[in-house]
Structure formats: structure tokens, C-alpha cells
Amino acid sequence: TAPTAEGVLAGLDDDQRAAVTAPAGPLCILAGAGTGKTRAITHRIAHRVLTGEVRPQHVLAVTFTARAAGEMRDRLRALGAGGVQARTFHAAAMRQLRFFAPRLLGGRELPEVLTSKARLINQAAAAARVRAESALRRDLATEIEWAKSSLVEPAEYPVAAARAGRDTPVAPDSMVRVYQAYEQAKQDAGVIDFEDLLRFTVWAIEEHPDVADQVRAQYRHFVVDEYQDVNPVQQRLLAAWLGGRDDLTVVGDASQTIYSFTGASADHLIGFPRRYPGATVVRLTRDYRSTPQVVALANQIIGQARGAQARLRLQLTGQRKPGPAPTIRSFPDETAEAAAVAARCAELVAGGTPSSEIAVLFRTNAQSAAYEDALTDANVPYQVQGSARFFDRPEVRQAMVALRAATRAVEPGTPLRVAIVDALAATGWSADSPPPGGAGRERWEALAALVRLVADFRPPPGEDGGEPTAADALTAFHAELTRRAAAQHAPAVDGVTLASLHAAKGLEWDAVFLVGLVEGTLPVGFARTDDQIEEERRLLYVGITRAREQLWLSWPQARADGGRPRRPSRFLPASTAGAVPSAGVARPERPAAARRRRGTLVLCRICGATLSEATDRKLGRCSDCPSDLDPELYDRLVSWRADVAAQQRIPAYVVFTD
Ligand code: ATP
Ligand code: MG
């Protein structure tokens, strides 16, 4: 059945519906994680398209990651609003610059965009005579990113950095020299960086009325997801696109601001109703994503936030039925932690959870390797988010070449899927034999994802209006892939997602593993100021709220190479600190004391279930749960749980001690 405007309103609650049907003009949706912000804006666009209020090609929707943009496009197409531009700021800017580059650059094409600043930062540091080890180089790169995203020119850096309270990696005047040398090195190499993409687009629109007219005639309705993380140059670009018009929808959650180190600020979100006094403001508080246990833990973690954003905290109420309590576990070291996570992933997959519904999230990319190894050993497919972009992968490029060649060689009458699978024989790919984990498996999964696209692909009819020929179908499929490649619209690749917490925002999985939760990693070692620490707390909040059902938090007690013991992250509930190995020692039972003190709630100290049977209450645990837990830890655990979970009368989480 064809999608209808009425249909688009079904499956939304009243608040979401208010957002979807709000009149044209400024609209701001302020809401916590998992409350359906992204769903609401997607449905709003579709609703406006289907009622004929707006034309899809006039809408520009900006999201934060390429994956989120791809998901939004898929969603819009399914809702009957294909053709809407849903992109990241960078992809949208790139597309516009590419189009206007010949006009702006005297016939030249847009220069290549740097994917990593590292090499040029090295050169710049040398030229500026700043000695830079690798950690410092990263700080220099971050600082330049901050300055450029904040529209701060090299000469303005010292004043601007002081005003923003930046913890400058080198003395401000040295920073000026590095920044200048970096810009010079970039120019000499004939390349531009990601920040330039945005800055040049701003320049193109602000300084060229003909460009401005054309861009503004094309885009008339704007939507920005994850608006809490917009930085000054993005904000300026948005203003340039709008050109004084106000058909703008923004959505965000101040508690999920995790990019302020690069100049992002929730102030734009918070100040929106003041900037547009006539704006419609909608608040959503019902969480549809996660079980109440996950929601309780998320509320607990963000409930301890300090500083300005704490005021804006939105308590979530879970809408889903209870699921398993989240668990907090510790392991002797990271290798053991990774092996346990991989084993649990294998179990989930064996139990029917698709691997693509599982994610392992970490604070720093360096943590990925241990999990890649462990998942390989456990023969679980995985994909590393943010590694080579899908269409840049060598095997995908090779497949495109093979498919192109096959358009000339395909036997008439060959079904499309068969033709594609045959053509991929040129890459050594075989449909039925995924290699065990690791890089080979990743390559296999990428090609499998290409083949899966056939299922949703409808080639245009042949000349006589009937079935297209095999060659035409293959040519059309190749054209579809080329279109997707240009739009960076990668298909979903199967496998457990390994991603940084930053890359995970906006996304969700049935099962989420948050790993390496120790001091020095989360919060990361270089987080020093209070603001930086608060940002780390929000990162954990973002991580927790990615889980629909199963949430596992874990931390290693020591580094793999021995060394000093590690402490669990300060953001974890206080009882976790006591979660040291306690195996083998018989513990006295103390449930009665705990019950007296807390009054009402007795929870199984092992699995966290509320105990209703008198015998279980006396025992302090379900009769089939194991029985050794440190008594002091037990008391703290019970009292903490009672505090957070009493409202919903559910266990918030379980700490494992061995
Ligand atoms: P985040 O802050 O993490 O970006 P969000 O507010 O954008 O979260 P969505 O991703 O839009 O939330 O929605 C979270 C999940 O809840 C999705 O799976 C979505 O389909 C589902 N959902 C949202 N609203 C409803 C609803 N009214 N009924 C059922 N499911 C819903
Ligand atoms: Mg969202």
C-alpha cells in the first residue's frame, strides 16, 4: 500500500505528533536519548512531503554521521518521501562546493580533502620549531580543529583560546606558528581539510550572491538532528543556507553534547527559543528505545552531572517492558575482558541475535584491536565503524570494476543476483563460504552487503516496458552503486559493530557492550578540567542509551602487560569500586539487616530481581542464583539499588564480582 500522510502519523505519541504537525517555521525539539527525536523529524519531513506542503528536493536534513544520514534516507524512502537530501554537514557542503567549484575556482575542480591531518601537522610542527611527540601531535590537531571550527584565525588564537578557557597544548604564540605553518603546508600540498569544506561553503554563499541565490532556491526547509553538537562554523553555514528565512527544525539533547572539544556547544540548542521567539518548542520524555533498567541506569549516571548542563537534564521514563538487568563486570586484564565479550557475542549470535544488532563501544580507537582479535578468535564477524569508508574499500572497488566488465559479458536471461554473484567470482568471493573472523571476514561481509542490495533493487523496465535484459539490469545496478558511492550511502554490513562512543551517537543496537571503563580511559587521561570530565560523563550516557535490551559494562583490573592496578571509572555507581574478585570465600548472609534499613525492597544480590518469596528474601537471593558476595558490597549494592530503582521497583543493574 502506498504511504499516506495519515499513515505517517500512526505509531507516534501525542507529543511526537505535535512536533510532526507543527506549522512551518522554527521548531525545536528538546528531548533525551531514545525519545524518538530522529523519528519525529523523519516523520515530519515525510508528512510535509505527503500533504504536498513541501517538495522533497527542497528539504535539506543534516545529521551527524554518514550512517545516520543513510538510515534517515532509507526511512524517508520507506515513508514515501524519497529524494530528500539527508546528509552530514560535511557531505552537504562537499556536494555544494563540488557543484560550484568550477565557477568559484576559475574552472578548477575542488581540491582533494585530507582524511588525516597527521602528516601536515608533523611538517607544521617542524616548521614552527615545536617538538611534537605523537600525543602532542594529536593535541595540536585537535586544537587546530577547534580554532577552525570556531572561526578563529591564527592571529586571533591567543585571545580566543584564553576566552574559551582552552587548555592549550603548547604556549599560545607557538600554537599560532603551528597553525600558520599548517595552513601553509596544506596550501603547498594543494589539499583542503574537513573544516575548510565548511568554511569555503560559507564563503561561497556569503560572498557570491549568485551562489547564494541558487543554493537558497534549491533548499527551503531545513532540519538539523543532534543540534546540541553544532559548532560555530556549522552554525554559520546553516545561517548562510537559511539566508534570513526561518523554516528550520532543530532537535537535540544537551546531555548528549560530546563534541565540545572541537568547539561544539549546546548553547545554540538552548538559545534557540530565544533566537526565534515564535518558535514551537516540543519536549519528549518517553523513552521508546531501552528497557526500564537501561533507562534507570542512564538516569542515574546523568543525574550526577555537574555544571550548567545539569540544569537541563531530562528525566526519561521507559516505555518498554522490563528486560535483563544491565551488568557491570571486571576482569583481570583487557585480554580477558575482550575474550569474555567475544564469547558473550558468540552466545548471543548462537541464540539468534543478528550480529549487526550487537555493538562493542569504547572510548579510544586504540581499544579496537583487542576486540578485533578476540572476535576473530571466537569466529564472530565484525565491522569497524569509521575504518575505510565502504566504497573506498579495495574489494568494493574491485567488485565495481568486475560488475562493469560483466555488463558486457553477461549471458542473456541471467537473473540479476546470479549475474552479480558470478561477476564477483573475479574477486574470489563465494556466496556460501564466509572465512573465519578477521580482515578476510570483513572483506567477505562487505561484498555480501553489496549482493544483499539486489533484494531491494528494481531495475527500470526494458524498452518494450517488459523485463529488462540481463545486461541492462546489471548496468542499472552498477549505476545505482555509483550513485550510492557518490552519496556515501553505504549498505549495512553484517557483523558486530566496533565503534568509538563518539561514532555511536544517534544509533542503537539490541545488545551493547561498553568496555574498558577505567579511570584514564573513561574519563580519558587527557580530560583534566571539570568541563572535560563532564563531557566524558556524557559520553558514558550516550553509550548506555544506545542499548535496547542488553547492556554490559566492564572494566579490566590491570593492563595486559601487568603494571599498576586500574580503578573503575568514577562514573560507575559507587558499589562498583568494591567489585573485586571474591570467589571462593564464604560470606555471611545479611539480608535481614539490609531489609530493616531500607524498609521495603529486597533484591536478589546476584541477578537483581525483586524477591517476593519469603524463603528467597531470607536467603537474600533467588534460590537458583550462586551465593558468594562480599557482605559490605552487598549492603551498598542493595541500598543504592533501592534508591534508584524504588520508583520502578526493578533492579537497575547487577555487579559481578568474579
Ligand atoms: P538519540 O537521542 O539517541 O538520537 P532519538 O531521540 O533520536 O535518540 P529515535 O532514534 O528517534 O530517538 O528513537 C529511538 C527508538 O524508539 C527507535 O527505535 C524508534 O523507532 C523508537 N520509537 C520512537 N518513537 C516511538 C513510538 N512512538 N512508538 C514506538 N517506537 C518508537
Ligand atoms: Mg536521534
Specify the CATH number for the domain of residue 213.
Answer: 3.40.50.300
- 408 and 328 in one domain? no
> In this model, does residue 577 exceed pLDDT 60?
no
The answer to whether 33 is a known ligand-binding residue is yes
- 254 and 235 in one domain? yes
Residue 578 lies in a domain: no
253 lines ligand 1 (CB under 6 A): yes
Residue 105 lies in a domain: no
The answer to whether 34 is a known ligand-binding residue is yes
Among 347-351, 366-370, 560-564, 653-657, top mean pLDDT goes to 347-351
The string of DSSP codes covering 212-277 is HHHHHHH--EEEESSGGG--HHHHHHHHHHHTT---EEEEE-GGG---GGGT--THHHHTHHHHST
Closest to 602 (Cα-Cα) out of 654, 651, 647 = 651
**Which atom of ligand 1 lies nearest, measured to the CA of 226?**
4
Among 134-143, 201-210, 443-452, top mean pLDDT goes to 201-210
- 472 and 396 in one domain? yes
pTM of structure: 0.82
Q: CA-to-CA distance for 487 and 464, rounded, in angstroms?
A: 31
Listed residues: CB within 5 A of ion ligand 2: 37-38, 506
pLDDT tens per residue, range 172-199: 999 999 999 999 999 999 999 999 999 9
Among 133-142, 249-258, 315-324, 486-495, top mean pLDDT goes to 249-258
Q: State the distance from the centre of ligand 1 to the C-alpha of 39, rounded, in angstroms.
A: 6
543 lines ligand 1 (CB under 6 A): no
Please state the rounded mean pLDDT for residues 386-413. 83
pLDDT tens per residue, range 286-333: 999 999 999 989 988 888 887 655 555 567 788 888 889 999 999 989
What three-state secondary structure class fits 510?
strand
Please state the rounded mean pLDDT for residues 130-138. 80
Terminal-to-terminal C-alpha distance of the chain: 54
Q: What's the chain's average pLDDT? A: 85
228 lines ligand 1 (CB under 6 A): no
Which residue's alpha carbon is at the smallest distance from atom 4 of ligand 1? 506
Which residue's alpha carbon is at the smallest distance from atom 27 of ligand 1? 12
Backbone torsions φ then ψ of 65, nearest 5 degrees: -125, 155
Question: 74-93 burial, b for 16+ CB within 10 Å, e for fewer?
Answer: bbbeebbbeebbbbbbbbbb
- 562 and 607 in one domain? no
Residue 585 lies in a domain: no
Q: CA-to-CA distance for 436 and 441, rounded, in angstroms?
A: 6
- If one residue of 14, 17, 38 were mutated to test the ligand 1 pocket, choosing by the most ligand atoms within 8 A of its CB, it would be 38
Per-residue confidence (pLDDT) for residue 589, from 0 to 100: 32
Per-residue confidence (pLDDT) for residue 393, from 0 to 100: 80
Query: Which residue among 455, 486, 517 closes a domain?
Result: 486
**Which atom of ligand 1 lies nearest, measured to the CA of 31?**
6
- 402 and 455 in one domain? yes
Closest to 131 (Cα-Cα) out of 171, 166, 159, 162 = 171
Asked whether 284 and 37 are in contact (CB, 8 A), the reply is yes
The answer to whether 31 is a known ligand-binding residue is yes
Q: Is the dihedral of CA 550, 11, 5, 42 positive or negative?
A: negative
Asked whether 342 and 378 are in contact (CB, 8 A), the reply is yes
Residue 110 lies in a domain: no
Alpha helices per DSSP H over 381-469: 394-409, 416-423, 439-452
How many domains would you assign to the chain?
5
- 404 and 371 in one domain? no
Which residue's alpha carbon is at the smallest distance from atom 31 of ligand 1? 288
39 lines ligand 1 (CB under 6 A): yes
The string of DSSP codes covering 13-78 is -HHHHHHHTPPSS-EEEEE-TTSSHHHHHHHHHHHHHHTTSS-GGGEEEEESSHHHHHHHHHHHHH
Parent domain of 332: 294-387+495-572
Q: State the distance from the centre of ligand 1 to the C-alpha of 137, rounded, in angstroms.
A: 39
Report the relative pairing of strands 191-192 and 112-113 from DSSP bridges.
parallel
pLDDT tens per residue, range 501-530: 999 999 999 999 999 999 999 999 888 888
Residue 36 lies in a domain: yes
Per-residue confidence (pLDDT) for residue 386, from 0 to 100: 67
**What percent of the chain clears pLDDT 70, i.e. is strictly above it?**
84
Asked whether 498 and 371 are in contact (CB, 8 A), the reply is yes
548 lines ligand 1 (CB under 6 A): no
Residue 104 lies in a domain: no
The answer to whether 36 is a known ligand-binding residue is yes
- Cα 352 to Cα 270, 280, 348, 425, distances in angstroms: 42, 43, 6, 30
Least confident interval from 2-6, 66-70, 236-240, 426-430: 426-430
Place 35 in a pLDDT band, splitting at 50, 70 and 90: very high
- How is the chain split among helix, strand and coil, in percent rounded to 5? 50, 15, 35
Per-residue confidence (pLDDT) for residue 554, from 0 to 100: 94
What radius of gyration do the chain's Cα atoms show? 27
Query: Which residue among 170, 192, 214 closes a domain?
Result: 192
Please state the rounded mean pLDDT for residues 41-66. 95
Per-residue confidence (pLDDT) for residue 593, from 0 to 100: 38
> In this model, does residue 646 exceed pLDDT 50?
no
Please report which ligand is nearest the Cα atom of 287: 1
In a 13 Å sphere around the CA of 128, the CA atoms on its Cβ side amount to: 28
- 146 and 272 in one domain? no
**Which atom of ligand 1 lies nearest, measured to the CA of 287?**
16
Asked whether 237 and 93 are in contact (CB, 8 A), the reply is yes
Asked whether 364 and 521 are in contact (CB, 8 A), the reply is yes
Place 584 in a pLDDT band, splitting at 50, 70 and 90: very low
Query: Which residue among 284, 308, 329 closes a domain?
Result: 284
- 125 and 87 in one domain? no
329 lines ligand 1 (CB under 6 A): no
Per-residue confidence (pLDDT) for residue 590, from 0 to 100: 39
Closest to 127 (Cα-Cα) out of 190, 177, 189, 186 = 177
Per-residue confidence (pLDDT) for residue 627, from 0 to 100: 57
Per-residue confidence (pLDDT) for residue 578, from 0 to 100: 47
> In this model, does residue 355 exceed pLDDT 90?
yes
Place 597 in a pLDDT band, splitting at 50, 70 and 90: very low
pLDDT tens per residue, range 72-93: 998 999 999 989 999 999 999 9
Least confident interval from 16-20, 48-52, 525-529, 647-651: 647-651
Residue 581 lies in a domain: no
13 lines ligand 1 (CB under 6 A): yes
**Which atom of ligand 1 lies nearest, measured to the CA of 40?**
11
> In this model, does residue 6 exceed pLDDT 60?
yes
- 379 and 395 in one domain? no
> In this model, does residue 281 exceed pLDDT 90?
yes
Least confident interval from 246-260, 397-411, 598-612: 598-612
All three cell numbers of 562? 601487568
Least confident interval from 345-354, 357-366, 578-587: 578-587
**What percent of the chain clears pLDDT 90, i.e. is strictly above it?**
51
Per-residue confidence (pLDDT) for residue 9, from 0 to 100: 95
Per-residue confidence (pLDDT) for residue 576, from 0 to 100: 62
Asked whether 19 and 44 are in contact (CB, 8 A), the reply is yes
Please state the rounded mean pLDDT for residues 134-144. 86
Per-residue confidence (pLDDT) for residue 637, from 0 to 100: 53
DSSP state of 458: -
- 507 and 367 in one domain? yes
Residue 307 lies in a domain: yes
Least confident interval from 5-19, 278-292, 318-332: 318-332
- 561 and 598 in one domain? no
Per-residue confidence (pLDDT) for residue 586, from 0 to 100: 24
Which residue's alpha carbon is at the smallest distance from atom 19 of ligand 1? 36
- 478 and 396 in one domain? yes
Least confident interval from 330-344, 583-597, 620-634: 583-597
Q: State the distance from the centre of ligand 1 to the C-alpha of 549, rounded, in angstroms.
A: 14
Per-residue confidence (pLDDT) for residue 53, from 0 to 100: 96
Please report which ligand is nearest the Cα atom of 253: 1
